[in-house]
Chains A and B, each alone.
Chain A
Amino acid sequence: MSLTADEVKKIAHLARLGIDQNDVQAYAQDLSGMLDLMARMAEVNTNNVLPMAHPMDQVQRLRVDAVTEGDLRDKYQAIAPQVEAGLYLVPKVIE
């Protein structure tokens, strides 16, 4: 199976990932190569096989719905690109 340059651009858009125009063709080729590798999986009969998400088939633990972390807003915002009055700033979304 092979991916076209347009398909690569569409995937990049879904991932909100800027890619260089000049690299699109190379990505299409690399991803097509990976898909060729993966084609082998289709030949295997996996009817009645349960998907495996965790090696021990452990489920996520529940915990008491209580606050465990203190207020670390100032510490976290100290490393943000742009903040003001305790808020993270991004370009204007609504006019």
Chain B
Amino acid sequence: MALPFWEIIYRSKSSPILEEKQFDLELFKKGQELKKKYGIKYEPQAPVDVDGDLADRVYQAGVELFLHLGAYCTTTKRAIKVSEAELKEEIASRPEAVEMGQGEDRVRMVHRDVEGTQEPIVIAGIQTAPFSNEEMMFKINQLCAMDRCVDGIWGGILLKIEGQYEVVAGAPSEIYQYRKTVEILRRAVSAAGRPGMIIINNAPSSIATIAMFDEQCGMRRTDYMEVTGMSELKVAYDDLNRTAFALACGINIHGTHSSTIGGFSGNPEGAAIAAVAGSMQEVVIQKAESFRCGVTDSRVKSRISRAELWAAGTAIQGISRNTRLIVDGSIGDHPAAGPGTKQYLYEAAAGFIVSTVMGAHSTEGTRKFVVGDTPNYGTPLESRWMGEVCKGAAGMSRAQASELVKYLLEQYEKYLKDAPAGQTFEALYDQTTLQPTAEYQKLYDEVKAELRDRGLQFRS
């Protein structure tokens, strides 16, 4: 680490006070100025940038944006800024690989190149989703962990304690239940025969997240601490509490940031630039060894719209081409459609193909975008899909990915705003054999065959 974390904290308290609104408006103005300066243009008919020149310009613009703005600390109402030399030194000091998990379940997450054949690490599971009870949570996660194309599990939450007391963020119930959640996850991966497997969860508050770490029965130093930044280019002390704990204990730090199309970064070009800037924030401010370079689209409840694919994909490509950093893409993690539908598989495939081909891992699980308080709204088959697509797309060319993504967009794009809701685990899996229903398996196999015919080289 080039710039000490405590220097970041010092700057968060000693820089001039700045109104948050001014920071937000400057993000928009500077982003649009850089869009012009670097000639960055989103062409909807080309959702995948195939030559890299555009991605390089997005990277340069993103770095310039971060150096101009810094990251806004909402706790102290100040922008934390770094110099160009400090940023370069920080990037150079980051590892090209981190080892995660233990024993036979240990994996090495390395910097991935664009079109690279390096193994994409897949942390699947029904991320942040509610489960109806302990037994169901155990069962679903055990089945997810049994899939060999999955390297880790991102957990969810049991919404009731003892089946009756509500779990709410910021309350004692949050600490108790998130802790119980990771204990269930640890037991589930052990029962799946993978005791050293990575498990991840991230509670709303830092105190509850920290409480999940326990070498015996919870999250371990060899998993990772997710340090979420706030959208867009913001961070709070509650985020940085996680960094402080991880640094003190030697836990891998994984940052996440999302710029927002329709938010203060504006258009898709602005969001791509801000996605790079946000990634720089994760590296310098949150001290992440790996990070999610994300984009959301405020206009749809899916993270795989055409504009998101372009903006996130181009930003990831820019970082992968210009640094040796370890990037997480996870673009396919939140489809609009629900489980048990072809649309879910199409949306997820488009996102995970772009993530992988552009040089990223996918470590943020997979689930329907809107789950509400419906429990068990996902199955192990979507986790398998995530794993199969990511591993299968490693080494694919951007040109081939572009054709495949265009085909996939044709299948789902027009249904994004009125996507099929899908069904829960109880409806999609035989509850006795714990296998997908024949109908769901057939649907899965059909989509897999369709993509195989179009050039996706599944490993099995």
Q: Do A and B come from one complex?
A: no
